[in-house]
A and B are shown apart, each in its own frame.
Chain A
Amino acid sequence: MSSKKDWPLWEVFIRSRQGMSHKHAGSLHAADAEMAITNARDVYTRRQEGASIWVVPSDQITASTPEDKEMMFDPANDKIYRHPTFYNLPDELEHM
């Protein structure tokens, strides 16, 4: 018998159809990966929402911390020259 009463938590990612990437759908509890896939089928794809499922133990995910948000993402703020609209070109110019 296991010491842990509750089954571990898994994050579920679903590919809605061939050609799309897997997208986070939610989480669920399951004893192992196999059961997590089966449960994910029942919980998240009752209406043909899925063509493929990934499950990942929640405690295996490393996330950036919210406190670092500014440090991580603000440097991109002042680099508007990375966007095509930054460049002033004549209206007559076509196909660009």
Chain B
Amino acid sequence: MENINLLERFDAYVAANKKIEPKDWMPDAYRKTLIRQISQHAHSEIVGMLPEGNWITRAPSLKRKAILLAKVQDEAGHGLYLYSAAETLGIDRDELIQQLHDGRAKYSSIFNYPTLTWADMGAIGWLVDGAAIMNQVPLCKCSYGPYARAMVRVCKEESFHQRQGYEIMMTLANGTPEQKQMAQDSLNRWWWPALMMFGPADDNSPNSERSMRWKIKLFSNDELRQRMVDMTVPQAEMLGLTIPDPDLKYKEETGHYDFGEIQWEEFYNVIKGNGPCNKQRIATRKKAYDDGAWVREAANAHAEKKAKRKTKAA
């Protein structure tokens, strides 16, 4: 009886675009769904550092190296903002990390693709960060306060990520024929996985409706994907590169681009753990975590010793 009342109030509250804060009453399913969504998002930021980290030591100039370092450091920050937001829902950071490491938690399938050439640093910034921005800007207005606030910080920082990526692509596209080919090859490899980042097609996305009612998802997967295509095609044209889709065509009547069928089999296969780099990514994460165990313990011991000394002195 009590709960029905609370639930009605919650629904009305969210429908009126008001924010839910950590200590407010919320339905269990809302809490659980948010923990899953925010932690998945956090894991994506953290695992997302790996494909780019791969190129920090091999960046073509000191300037590019400094930029890439700053970008990867930002992604670490994004992961931390998001873990903090998830923790306000009553789950421990440690538990979230365990979930990632033992495969219970997912992260964006895009980071299971390898970064084969320097041009991939361009394509990732341009397309992958571009898709992330498309996904994240609406979430700045989502119903859960700490998540919305984290998204505001993240979005402020993402813009530089996309611009530096596009600039890399521009430099390569205006370079030697080999460099331009390298950029084209990178676009060919990242285009479809980037479109898959928006998730399954709407008729295959069973929980979407509920999440949209809860305002933790503001636009449908297909809506955002269409926006991404519409926005990116002119950008590719400006680079003089070709989007690897023979069915891509501007439709005067709708004002949108029609595009080809996405290979969903590949998408589900990567999600299931069979992408080119799934095993490597998690192994790298685990190793970093395990190798850092002694640092965490030593810092704890140091803090305890200092605290004891302080009480003795007092």
Bound-complex Cα distance A49 to B277 (A): 36
A sample of 5 inter-chain contacts (CB < 8 A) reads A28-B84, A31-B300, A46-B70, A66-B24, A66-B25
Q: Which of B46-54, B87-95, B234-242 contacts A (4 or more CB under 8 A)?
A: B87-95
Query: By the criterion of a CB under 8 Å from any partner CB, how many residues of chain A are at the interface?
Result: 21
Contact B77 A43 (CB under 8 A): yes
Contact B74 A46 (CB under 8 A): yes
Choose one: A1, A5, A43; the contact of B301 (CB below 8 Å): A1
Bound-complex Cα distance A94 to B221 (A): 57
Contact B80 A7 (CB under 8 A): no
Q: Which of B116-124, B251-259, B302-310 contacts A (4 or more CB under 8 A)?
A: B302-310
Looking across the interface, which residue of chain B has its beta carbon closest to that of A69? Answer: B24
Q: Which residues of B contact A32 (CB under 8 A)?
A: 299, 302-303, 306-307
Contact B23 A31 (CB under 8 A): no
Contact B93 A29 (CB under 8 A): yes
Q: Is B296 an interface residue (CB 8 A)?
A: yes
Interface majority SS (helix, strand, loop, mixed), chain B:
helix
Q: Which of B50-101 contact A (CB under 8 A)?
A: 70, 73-74, 77, 80-81, 84, 87, 92-94
Q: Which residues of A contact B150 (CB under 8 A)?
A: 26
Query: Chain A 56-89 against B: per-residue CB contact (8 Å), 1 yes, 0 no?
Result: 0000000101100000000000000000000000
Query: Chain A 9-32 against B: per-residue CB contact (8 Å), 1 yes, 0 no?
Result: 100000000000000001111011
Cβ of B157 to closest chain A Cβ, rounded Å: 8
